[in-house]
Amino acid sequence: MTTLFFDIGATLADGRLEADGSWLLRPRPRVSQVLDAFAGEPKGIISNPGTEQDAVAQITEALHEAFPGRFPDDHLIHFGPKNSRTIFDDAVASSDGAADDCVFVGEDHDERAFARTAGMRVAPHPVFTRAAIENRPVFWTRIDVPEGRTLGALESVANGTEAVPVHVASPRLVLAMATALGVETLQQEGFSTDVRGQVEDTAAFLVRDDRSVPVPEALAGASEGARKAAEGAMRAAAAFCFASGELTGYPRQISSLGPAPGGVYVASPAGVPIEEVHTQGAKPGHTERLLPDPALLSRPGETQAEEFAAAPSAGFDETGDGLPSPETLAAVRATVTPEALRTHVARISGVEPLVPGEPLKVRSRDAAHADNGLVVDALVRHFQDLGLVVRRHAFRWRGRQLFNVEAEHRVEGAESAVLITGHLDSTAQSGHFVDANGDPRPYDPSVDPAPGADDDGCGTAAVMAAAECLHALVAAGRAPTRHVRFVLFNAEEQALVGSKRYARAAAAADDRIAGVFQMDMIAGLQDGSPPAVEIHAGSSVPGPVVAASDGLGDLVARTVPAIASDFEVQQLTGAGDPALGRSDHASFHERGWAAIAVSENLFGPDGGPATGTRQYHTPGDTLLDEDHDTQYAATIACSVTATALTFAGL
């Protein structure tokens, strides 16, 4: 008999640490059906609950609450680090069977690699549990949706077979995981498939290439579709060749899964840091982690986007100018100030102690640095002091437990939430480092400084100040009509993985999100440059999310002149938006929710030069850098905060 072992976080359930310190686990789509199908098989757990006090007891309690009666054998439940084969060997020993009679089901490809080293069979998603038992492989598969068929039709077929989507390139193309049985079912239902390599212990990424691609003269007379296809194939080949060349020193190589929007789909083996590859002139957000999700094609936010796009200005000044009320503008100006932003940035970027009165100064917020967790703790305390309901949304990356921080002001009877967001992590991947001999060496994220004052310390500070503003408004007797959430995502620099996890969990929980206002890099202004703000609404996902996101962008664009009349407003939308899919707002577009990202003049729209920071992803991105302007940042933060709080009904 086969013994099945499951990872908990992201595989069986989405986990979060509640305000009272307890854990809540929400089962992932299709998981309950899989467990029902194997009711007679012995089932265990291999999971790492972290090192916090009573973590094992709390996770065990949450596990049995989420899956009552599903995991009755205590001797098959194993908690601890999964950064070697040790815990997997222990699991095999507890099964009283051979390693080949044990299956580990886990989304994390590094963990699957350790399980395979221990001799276990593996499955990258619960849907493929039976395939692992029967020793059938799972393949990366490109699915073509024929004209006249919809993504909804594909979802209906995929959810009835061994297939799980990981990315929607367009209404006509989806990247998925599937077994041969799943592929056969898809083909029988009229969907064309292009089967690539086996999944095994690889993960999928979209790697964008921002370099220009010259189209051969031979295609000058070809149709627009043919030229675009040729350009896409050439860009994919260029991106893959560069990435594979940068990673030649690793035992195993990445493999191409074919052209993707703006670049190439890549299957990256365990232990290969594809997130650290940067092409020359790479723009922010050029690498995106792709997560398997049976519910990816349903896009629950689309219904909400349709509703909110129909009346995007609800709650704004009734005088007809579409602006936040004078009272809201005054409150925002009083709290979201250059001094407030400077204070917060100083603490989370290492200029001042993280906690006033204590000696520790932050060296880095990189997801691989120990200070990342200390900053999370400080942010939690800040939001708690404002009386907000604070939750930590847990996920794992490269063997580390990380948290997104969510702080919510709940409104009785409200049917939706407005999110004000940024990302709390940093990186200095593009910096220049030397060893003890003065020779160049790679960036070491576990020890090297990565202050990230602009990226995205200023966005994090703006979210903190926005929460302070709401606190002041509520204390003065004002009340929103929608829930307001302040969310700081972790591991944005690691291919958007933090916001991807958050949005996927929100979709599975049938969350209702009216709009997402992301601030990512808002303090960079080169000396002498005219102040400009970029409002990015472009969505790679078609449908209602496009108009709804444009509507959010319009609201911010109207508010900016009320804060500072000398600002140039650059609204960017559609396929030409250079931030398309490149910041945390894109994780919400993927689910159909309206979302925008607001930034400094980072991309240099309309062919003009960018006037944002020149210290992007370097140790020089500090509060004291000549390009860091807190007055400029405060104007952007005020504009976003006033718009978002008004959209929430204030």
SS3 track for 282-332: CCCCCEEEECCCCCCCCCCHHHHHHHHHHCCCCCCCCCCCCCCCHHHHHHH
Burial group, residue 597, by CB count within 10 angstroms (0-12, 13-18, 19+):
buried
Q: Give the tokens for residue 242.
A: 């560069």
Judged on CB neighbours under 10 Å (0-12, 13-18, 19+), 356 is exposed
Of 577, 459, 575, the closest CA to residue 516 belongs to: 459
Per the CB < 8 A criterion, the answer to whether 478 and 553 are in contact is: no
Tell me, what's the pLDDT at 313?
A: 63
Query: Which pLDDT does position 317 carry in this prediction?
Result: 65
Contact 196, 259 (CB under 8 A): no
CB 200 within 8 A of CB 261: no
Q: What pLDDT is attached to residue 53?
A: 81
Q: Amino acid identity of 507?
A: A
Between CA 494 and CA 298 the distance in angstroms is 26
Query: What is the structure's pLDDT at 309?
Result: 65
Quick one: pLDDT at residue 311?
Answer: 66
Residue 211 has a pLDDT of: 85
Taking each continuous run of H as one helix and of E as one strand, the counts in the chain are 17, 25
Which residues of the chain are under the pLDDT cut of 50?
A: none
CA distance 221 to 223: 7
Number of CB atoms found within 10 A of residue 367's CB? 24
Residues found in the chain: 650
CA distance 306 to 323: 22
Rounded Cα distance between 97 and 144, Å, is: 42
Predicted confidence at residue 605, as pLDDT, reads 67
Q: Take residue 553 and report the two structure tokens written for it.
A: 């962008």
- The pairing of strands 532-536 and 568-572 is parallel
What's residue 318's pLDDT?
61
The C-alpha atoms of residue 84 and residue 63 are separated, in whole angstroms, by: 24
pTM to 2 decimals?
A: 0.96
